[in-house]
């Protein structure tokens, strides 16, 4: 019985330590106790990718650390978390057709193949920089971005590759208009929301747990 009690104590202690790891301040040694999180910069071809990405990363920080979080740009914060979402500049390269459906028996038109499966890729770069000036922020352009981690104010810089695929909506009774753009936009938005959740998990495991 005594051995069982000791083992139980060790197990509970290890669990308690594991939980505490998620409730501390991973950036305390950098003098960062509070973080401002402005809406992420969206350079991708998905117009509304910024909101779910910003919300999920912000949620991970608020739920897994003791950091004080400020929404938007705040002069009160010790550091600012910058997020940059990017993708290919060419739509044909960005949205890749990975499956098709043959549309037949359309009056006045030949049979044709319509896309029914599409894949796409995004990249989310997250940068924590202490008290950035306008000059500091201007350096975070496409040319300087790969070297941003060399900046003396930058606590970390992490690039998270994200990729997904989705099944497109098809209406086989409407010929060349069979792909309903409204329905497919909603499906794409759902896929982006799922990617944002994935980005949050990667951020927690590969950034927060690394400090």
Tens-binned pLDDT, residue by residue, of the chain (211 aa): 545 444 444 444 444 444 444 458 999 999 999 999 999 999 999 988 999 999 999 999 999 999 999 998 888 999 999 999 999 988 888 888 777 777 676 666 676 666 778 889 999 999 999 999 988 888 887 678 888 889 999 999 999 999 988 777 666 555 445 446 777 788 888 999 999 999 999 999 999 998 8
Identify the CA nearest to 130 among candidates 28, 57, 32: 32
Domain presence at residue 8: no
Predicted confidence at residue 208, as pLDDT, reads: 92
In the chain, how many domains are there?
Answer: 1
Domain presence at residue 36: yes
Domain presence at residue 56: yes
Predicted confidence at residue 107, as pLDDT, reads: 63
State pTM to two decimals. Answer: 0.77
**Rounded to an integer, what distance in angstroms lies between the CA atom of residue 42 and that of residue 84?**
6
- Taken in order 145, 40, 135, 69, the sign of the CA dihedral is negative
The residues, ordered by sequence, that sit 6+ positions from 64 with a Cβ below 8 Å of its Cβ are 22, 23, 204, 208
Alpha carbon 10 to its chain centroid, in Å, reads 37
Query: Which CATH number does the domain housing residue 136 bear?
Result: 3.30.160.150
Asked if residue 134 lies in contact with residue 211, where contact means CB atoms within 8 angstroms, the answer is no
Domain hosting 136: range is 30-210
């Amino acid at each position: 019985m005594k051995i069982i009690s000791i083992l139980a104590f060790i197990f509970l202690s290890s669990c308690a330590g594991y939980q505490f790891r998620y409730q501390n301040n991973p950036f305390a040694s950098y003098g960062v106790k509070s973080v401002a999180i402005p809406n992420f910069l969206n350079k991708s071809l998905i117009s509304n990718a910024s909101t779910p990405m910003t919300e999920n990363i912000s949620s991970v920080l608020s739920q897994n650390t003791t950091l004080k979080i400020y929404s938007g740009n705040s002069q009160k914060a010790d550091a600012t978390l910058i997020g940059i979402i990017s993708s290919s500049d060419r739509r044909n390269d960005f949205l890749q057709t990975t499956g098709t459906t043959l549309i037949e028996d359309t009056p006045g038109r030949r049979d044709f193949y319509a896309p029914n499966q599409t894949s796409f890729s995004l990249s989310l770069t997250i940068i924590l920089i202490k008290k950035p000036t306008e000059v500091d922020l201007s350096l975070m352009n496409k040319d300087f971005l790969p070297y941003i981690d060399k900046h003396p104010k930058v606590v970390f810089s992490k690039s998270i590759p994200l990729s997904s695929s989705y099944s497109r909506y098809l209406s086989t009774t409407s010929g060349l208009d069979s792909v309903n753009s409204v329905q497919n936009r909603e499906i794409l938005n759902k896929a982006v929301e799922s990617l944002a959740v994935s980005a949050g998990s990667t951020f927690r495991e590969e950034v927060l747990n690394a400090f």
